[in-house]
């Protein structure tokens, strides 16, 4: 990689574990092509993350975690996504569940699950898309029947749940008929919980993303992380749509494609100008992401960052596929896999303003965000 382009694509946050992260990324890269499109749990990918302690990076030391600051977490997510988007997508959903558990750490159930994750005894995931960005089933995807004081019965569906086959805990949410809402720590082995076969996705098949059916599942106050109360799902800690972490995954995937494109450049003079422009766009988007992760008051909005990251991952992966010509279209090549995986960011945790920005960008109009 030329020195100028290398500087544009450089990670910006100092990381004491940088050599180990580089090794882990290389290992994930090697494994990803063998597992990403299989309809089975990617045990080898997750085991590598486990050995590196990645599922505990976000946890405070009191729970056995590394207490990584958010800018470093965002950078590590992007770095590892360049090796295996499948692995880090699963990790991102685990971390999303942990953030909600940490927000409710004063409750006995959250404390118990956080200790279990910290000890390596549990994997968590989230099932709240019906409350955030998914409109397939809507906010009433899960019906709650109040059986008595502090006792409830759940009926319905969590429509999009990643790592559903592997998870020990689902963090989900639901609303009662009177409008009160609750956030629930639901054990995967609770009677009435049924994990369906994974969806036939266009990419990231090994993420084991499926719907989870709830058949008369009983919960009580000891399972609640928040609520029941009015507007509980409007709280920042209760819901989310991926935010900076999803943008980090997109930029990590884009960087992998750009680095591969740089490797072709010495023999392809036609790549010099577009590659320079793409790398500069990546550097700008990366600085914006890190500034927001550091809570810089002058940083651009998370929505604008996500819109830029979406556009860039599409352009970078398709540029690499185009440069590789017919060879890149072979199923054995990463170029076609990266291009398919980039489509993921158009539909996953993609609120209406981000989707509109993508459509406007594809139409050659100014983004709406």
Identify whether 369 is part of a domain. no
Identify whether 37 is part of a domain. yes
Is residue 161 located within the same domain as residue 177? yes
From the number of C-beta atoms within 10 Å of its C-beta (0-12, 13-18, 19+), residue 262 rates as buried
Three-state SS for 186?
A: strand
Q: Which of 98, 118, 138 is the last residue of a domain?
A: 118
Which residue do the tokens 């398919």 mark? Answer: 340
Query: Residue 105 is part of a domain; what is its CATH number?
Result: 1.10.540.10
Q: Is beta strand 151-161 parallel, antiparallel or unpaired with respect to 169-175?
A: unpaired
Average pLDDT over residues 300-316: 95
Is residue 103 located within the same domain as residue 31? yes
- Report residue 214 as tokens: 């709830």
Percent of the chain residues past pLDDT 90, beyond the cut? 74
Average pLDDT over residues 315-329: 95
Is residue 260 located within the same domain as residue 223? no
Identify whether 327 is part of a domain. yes
Residue-range definition of the domain harbouring residue 255: 243-362
Question: Does residue 237 carry a pLDDT above 70?
Answer: no
- Report residue 341 as tokens: 């995986």
Rounded Cα distance between 327 and 237, Å, is 45
Rounded Cα distance between 312 and 338, Å, is 13
Q: Which of 234, 269, 304 is the last residue of a domain?
A: 234
Is residue 55 located within the same domain as residue 152? no
Which residue do the tokens 């992998």 mark? Answer: 256
Contacts of 246 (CB under 8 A, 6+ apart): 92, 306, 309, 345, 348, 349
Are residues 265 and 272 in contact, defined by beta-carbon separation less than 8 angstroms?
yes
Identify whether 280 is part of a domain. yes
Is residue 15 located within the same domain as residue 93? yes
> Where are the extended beta strands (E) located within the chain?
124-127, 142-148, 151-161, 169-175, 181-187, 193-195, 210-220, 224-229
When comparing pLDDT for 177 and 305, which is higher?
305
Contacts of 311 (CB under 8 A, 6+ apart): 358, 361, 367
CA nearest to 59, candidates 8, 33, 94, 88? 94
Rounded Cα distance between 223 and 227, Å, is 11
Which 8-state DSSP code applies to residue 144?
E
Is residue 13 located within the same domain as residue 61? yes
The pLDDT assigned to 132 comes to 56
Query: Residue 161 is part of a domain; what is its CATH number?
Result: 2.40.110.10
CA nearest to 144, candidates 152, 133, 135? 152
Identify whether 63 is part of a domain. yes
Is residue 291 located within the same domain as residue 255? yes
Is residue 29 located within the same domain as residue 100? yes
Terminal Cα distance for the chain, rounded:
33
Which 8-state DSSP code applies to residue 168?
S
Is residue 255 located within the same domain as residue 311? yes
Number of domains in the chain: 3
Angle at the Cα of 50 (from 92 to 185), degrees rounded to 5? 50
Are residues 191 and 239 in contact, defined by beta-carbon separation less than 8 angstroms?
no
Three-state SS for 311?
A: helix
The pLDDT tens digits for 93-106 are 999 999 999 999 99
Identify whether 206 is part of a domain. yes
Question: Does residue 18 carry a pLDDT above 90?
Answer: yes
- Say what angle helices 85-103 and 108-118 make with each other, to 10 degrees: 140
pLDDT band at 238 (very low <50, low <70, confident <90, very high): very low
Is residue 269 located within the same domain as residue 334? yes
In degrees and rounded to multiples of 5, residue 194 shows phi and psi of: -125, 120
Is residue 327 located within the same domain as residue 280? yes
Question: Does residue 45 carry a pLDDT above 60?
Answer: yes
Identify whether 39 is part of a domain. yes
CA nearest to 157, candidates 215, 225, 78, 90? 215
pLDDT band at 357 (very low <50, low <70, confident <90, very high): confident
Is residue 38 located within the same domain as residue 78? yes
Rounded Cα distance between 182 and 248, Å, is 29
Contacts of 21 (CB under 8 A, 6+ apart): 15, 52, 76, 79, 80
CA nearest to 275, candidates 336, 327, 329, 316? 316
pTM over 0.85: yes
CA nearest to 128, candidates 171, 98, 85, 93? 171
Identify whether 367 is part of a domain. no
Q: Which of 187, 211, 234 is the last residue of a domain?
A: 234
Q: Please provide the average confidence, as pLDDT, over all residues in the chain.
A: 90
Cis peptide bond N-terminal to 31, omega within 30: no
The pLDDT assigned to 242 comes to 53
């Amino acid at each position: 990689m030329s020195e100028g382009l290398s500087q544009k694509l450089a990670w910006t946050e100092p990381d004491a574990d940088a050599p180990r992260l580089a090794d882990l990324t290389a290992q994930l890269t090697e494994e990803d092509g063998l597992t990403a499109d299989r309809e089975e749990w990617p045990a080898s990918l997750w085991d590598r993350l486990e050995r590196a302690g990645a599922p505990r990076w976000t946890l405070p030391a009191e729970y056995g975690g590394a207490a990584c600051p958010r800018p470093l977490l965002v950078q590590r997510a992007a770095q590892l996504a360049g090796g295996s988007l499948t692995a880090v997508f699963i990790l991102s959903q685990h971390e999303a569940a942990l953030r909600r558990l940490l927000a409710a750490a004063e409750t006995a159930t959250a404390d118990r699950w956080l200790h279990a994750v910290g000890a390596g005894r549990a994997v968590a995931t989230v099932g709240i898309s019906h409350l955030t960005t998914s409109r397939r089933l809507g906010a009433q995807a899960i019906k709650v029947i109040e059986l008595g004081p502090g006792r409830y019965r759940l009926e319905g569906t969590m429509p999009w749940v990643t790592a559903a086959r592997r998870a020990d805990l689902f963090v989900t949410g639901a609303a009662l008929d009177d409008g009160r809402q609750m956030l629930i720590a639901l054990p995967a082995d609770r009677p009435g919980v049924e994990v369906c076969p994974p969806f036939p996705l266009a990419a990231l098949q090994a993420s084991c993303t499926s719907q989870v059916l709830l058949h008369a599942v009983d919960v009580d106050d000891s399972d609640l992380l928040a609520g029941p109360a009015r507007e509980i799902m409007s709280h920042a800690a209760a819901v989310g749509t991926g935010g900076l972490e999803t943008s980090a995954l997109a930029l990590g995937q884009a960087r992998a494609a750009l680095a591969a494109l740089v490797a072709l450049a010495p023999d392809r003079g036609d790549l010099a100008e577009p590659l320079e422009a793409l790398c500069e766009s990546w550097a700008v988007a990366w600085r914006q992401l890190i500034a927001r992760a550091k809570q810089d008051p002058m940083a651009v909005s998370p929505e604008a960052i996500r819109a830029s990251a979406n556009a860039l991952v599409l352009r970078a992966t398709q540029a690499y596929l185009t440069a590789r010509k017919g060879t890149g279209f072979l199923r054995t090549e990463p170029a076609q896999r990266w291009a398919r995986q980039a489509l993921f960011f158009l539909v996953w945790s993609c609120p209406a303003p981000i989707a509109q920005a993508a459509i406007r960008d594809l139409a050659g109009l100014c983004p709406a965000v």
